[in-house]
């Protein structure tokens, strides 16, 4: 049920299922150190680190515990970040949205709001989840404000 997910998209954004072909674009878009301020790892520090991270995400997908996407800004026609479904608990119909990073060029733009709406819609309408949680660091005020911007708490 959760390992095959299509590209989620609207007129502005596409959330494409992550593959190894995304290593180079993710590495490129993840270079700003500000992206990683509230994370325990800088997943795009080197191309090898990005490769390791993508392979781990894909392994987690096969285990059914994560569904990783790359975020494509259709206005620029390029990868601008990543987001995932994670902590999937089928028996409780619960899922989280997290592991999100966006290049600073699209932060505070339509991109994050579009991504979250696409993911929320898919989680509730297709996966038929009862609960969707967002994951962010308690001190990451920018992310917490963005979460409020989509009507969540």
- Give mean pLDDT, residues 108-118: 90
- Give mean pLDDT, residues 88-97: 93
% of the chain surpassing 70 pLDDT: 84
The per-residue pLDDT for range 67-87, each reduced to its tens digit, is 999 999 999 999 999 999 999
The per-residue pLDDT for range 35-52, each reduced to its tens digit, is 777 677 778 889 999 999
Domain ranges of the chain: 8-149
Residue-level pLDDT at 19 = 97
Residue-level pLDDT at 37 = 72
C-alpha 106, offset from chain centre: 14
Furthest C-alpha separation in the chain: 39
87: left (phi over 0), alpha (psi -120 to 50) or beta: left
CATH number assigned to the domain covering 8-149: 3.40.630.30
pTM above 0.95, yes or no: no
Residue-level pLDDT at 2 = 63
- Asked if residue 1 has pLDDT above 60, the reply is no
Lowest mean pLDDT among 42-46, 98-102, 124-128, 137-141: 137-141
| Dist. CA 27–CA 50, nearest whole Å | 6
């Amino acid at each position: 049920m959760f390992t095959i997910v299509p590209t989620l998209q609207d007129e502005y954004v596409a959330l494409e299922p992550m593959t190894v072909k995304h290593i180079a674009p993710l590495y490129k878009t993840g270079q700003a150190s500000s992206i990683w301020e509230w994370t325990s790892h800088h997943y795009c520090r080197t191309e090898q680190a990005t490769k390791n991270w993508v392979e781990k995400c894909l392994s987690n997908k096969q285990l059914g515990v994560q569904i990783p996407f790359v975020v494509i800004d259709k206005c620029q026609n390029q990868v601008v970040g990543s987001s995932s479904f994670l902590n999937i608990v089928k028996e409780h119909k619960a899922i989280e949205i997290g592991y999100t990073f966006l290049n600073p060029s699209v932060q505070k733009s339509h991109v994050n709001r579009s991504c979250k709406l696409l993911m929320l819609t898919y989680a509730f309408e297709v996966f038929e989840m009862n609960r969707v949680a967002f994951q962010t660091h308690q001190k990451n005020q920018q992310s917490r404000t963005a979460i409020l911007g989509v009507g969540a708490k």
